[in-house]
């Protein structure tokens, strides 16, 4: 077992990738430190076990007791391998031609989506990877890994089928929203408020119980709309355009809102943050796709009840002031003035004249402008794919932490020359 442990090398020595496709230095350091710490811990367990076997206490032990101790060590060893495999799955994709650099570009979008104007928290390292399946997901920072250690980086899984279009940003920023909500303690802050609404009684009590149950996913959707505007809702419509029974399906244990309500809620959030007629138009389009006519009486009554409480619920969200925001509301902290539809439309027109300016803008602002152009009918899906395919490598190359790491040797050399 000790011999096998010696073969576990840092990922920085084993993962082939071009520089632009690599994860951030902070993420690389955190991953390597976690694996090195686990390997050293396990070495200590093995050596203490061998030492115990050679002592009189160990020699007097029964075979079953010795086997029990060995089995525990072996389970810890397998936990270390599980951690290695987890990060290996994430990092090996960085060596794929084109995909590797695109994934690094997604890292840049994620970091920008989590970085709020006022520094309410330190942005943790984030890494993305692609996988089969329908939904995106996140393993948040500081959650438990196999073996009990805390995850040092946020790992975001993106479905391959969503590459490449603004829909990928909708899913990506939604998952980032889960991380941001936890860093700000928004779920624990909002739950008592929603419970107070339930205590008021009346026929709306059931609706508020559902809003409380779904609050984690709703906050992630709120974050996505706030950061990338209508691109979020368009992406959500794309994901939730399912056969009719699924769109109106309500599962008691599902943390996600009923898909039909979820899209209507996204439109309502968008209109509260960035008022514009487009949100009403999108909501109407969704209703035309999936009319409520024909639903059974009970389900239709529930949908009507939930829809009727959306305005009050959205008002509660945008005006909520958790302690972690220092007196600011969710709208003031997470939304951005440059994501207003008119501003985004003007940005897109300016960038069409001078494309180089788009490359210097922040990723989420660009994604929001592209989504706005799609909503306005000014951009085709093909053009959207081409633009994003050209921007992702640029974002991968020009990530702030990458430039800092690249320029650090140059800064040290200039400092030495200045001192001579």
Q: What is the pLDDT of residues 376-417, one digit of tens each?
A: 999 998 899 889 989 999 998 887 654 443 334 433 443 454
Encode 401-415: b = buried (16+ Cβ within 10 Å), e = exposed.
bbeebeeeeeeeeee
Q: How far apart are the first and last CA of the chain?
A: 52
The pairing of strands 154-159 and 137-139 is antiparallel
Average pLDDT score over residue span 255-277: 97
Q: Using the Cα atoms of residue 31, residue 37, residue 41 and residue 42 in order, give the sign of their dihedral.
A: positive
CA–CA gap between residue 292 and residue 23 (Å, rounded): 46
For strands 126-131 and 137-139, give the pairing.
Answer: unpaired
Assign 171 a pLDDT band (cuts: 50, 70, 90): very high
At which residue do the structure tokens 């009918």 appear?
377
Domain residue ranges in the chain = 2-139, 184-334
| pTM score | 0.84
Sign for the pseudo-dihedral over CA of 383, 389, 392, 398: negative
Question: What is residue 17's predicted lDDT score, i.e. its pLDDT?
Answer: 63
* For the chain, percent of residues with pLDDT exceeding 90: 53
Place of tokens 């000014």: 378
For residues 400 and 406, give the distance between their C-alpha atoms in angstroms, rounded to a whole number.
Answer: 10
Closest CA to 104 of 395, 401, 400, 404: 395
CA distances from residue 403 to 112, 126, 246, 287 in whole angstroms, order as listed: 15, 17, 46, 47
Using CA atoms, how far apart are residues 243 and 264, in angstroms rounded to an integer?
Answer: 17
Count of other CB atoms within 10 angstroms of residue 256: 17
- Which residues are bridge partners to 383 per DSSP? none
Contact between residue 194 and residue 212 where contact means Cβ atoms under 8 Å apart: yes
**Number of alpha helices (DSSP H) and beta strands (DSSP E) in the chain:** 21, 3
Helices marked H in 274-354 — which ranges? 278-289, 297-318, 330-334, 341-353
The pLDDT of residue 237:
94
**Interatomic CA distance for residues 187 and 191, integer angstroms:** 6
CA-based nearest residue to 128, from 23, 234, 238, 263: 23
pLDDT band at 347 (very low <50, low <70, confident <90, very high): very high
- Using the predicted structure, report yes or no on whether residue 85 has a pLDDT greater than 50: yes
Structure tokens at 301: 């009554």
Query: Which of 98-107, 154-163, 253-262, 397-406 has the lowest average pLDDT?
Result: 397-406
Reply yes or no on whether the pLDDT at 419 is more than 50. Answer: no
Give the per-residue pLDDT at 182. 96
Specify whether the CB–CB gap between 87 and 151 falls below 8 A: no
pLDDT greater at residue 184 or residue 65: 184
């Amino acid at each position: 077992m000790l011999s096998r442990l010696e073969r576990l090398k840092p990922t920085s020595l084993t993962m082939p990738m071009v520089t632009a496709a690599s994860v951030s230095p902070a993420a690389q350091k955190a991953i390597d430190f976690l694996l090195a710490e686990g390997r050293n811990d396990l070495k200590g367990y093995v050596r203490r076990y061998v030492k115990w076997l050679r002592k009189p206490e160990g020699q007097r032990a029964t075979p079953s007791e010795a086997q029990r101790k060995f089995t525990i060590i072996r389970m810890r060893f397998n936990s270390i391998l599980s951690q290695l495999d987890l990060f290996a799955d994430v990092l090996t994709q960085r060596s794929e031609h084109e995909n590797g650099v695109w994934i690094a570009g997604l890292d840049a979008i994620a970091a920008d989506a989590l970085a709020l104007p006022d520094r309410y928290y330190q942005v943790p390292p984030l890494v993305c990877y692609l996988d089969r399946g329908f939904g995106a997901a996140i393993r948040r920072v500081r959650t438990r890994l196999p073996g009990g250690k805390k995850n040092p980086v946020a790992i975001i899984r993106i479905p391959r089928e969503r590459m490449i279009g603004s829909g990928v940003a909708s899913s990506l920023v939604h998952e980032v929203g889960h991380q941001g909500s936890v860093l700000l303690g928004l779920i624990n802050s909002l739950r008592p408020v929603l419970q107070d609404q339930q205590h008021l009684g009346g026929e709306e009590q059931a609706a508020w119980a559902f809003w409380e149950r779904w609050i984690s996913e709703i906050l992630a959707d709120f974050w996505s709309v706030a950061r990338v505007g209508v691109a979020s809702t368009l992406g959500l419509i794309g994901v939730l355009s399912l056969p009719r029974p699924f769109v109106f399906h309500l599962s008691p244990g599902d943390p996600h809102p009923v898909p039909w309500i979820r899209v209507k809620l996204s439109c309502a959030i968008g209109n509260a943050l960035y008022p514009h007629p487009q949100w009403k138009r999108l909501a109407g389009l969704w209703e035309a796709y999936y009319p409520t006519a024909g639903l059974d009486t009970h389900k239709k009554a529930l949908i009507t009840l939930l829809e009727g409480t959306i305005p009050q619920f959205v008002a509660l969200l945008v005006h909520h002031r958790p302690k972690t925001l220092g007196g600011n509301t969710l709208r003031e902290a997470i939304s951005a003035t440059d994501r207003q539809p008119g501003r985004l439309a003007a940005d897109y027109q300016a960038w069409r004249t001078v494309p180089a300016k788009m490359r210097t803008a922040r990723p989420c602002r660009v994604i929001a402008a592209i989504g706005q152009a799609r909503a306005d009918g000014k951009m085709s899906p093909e053009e959207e794919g081409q633009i994003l395919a050209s921007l992702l490598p640029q974002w991968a190359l020009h990530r702030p932490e990458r430039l800092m790491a690249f320029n650090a040797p140059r800064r040290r050399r200039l400092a030495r020359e200045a001192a001579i």
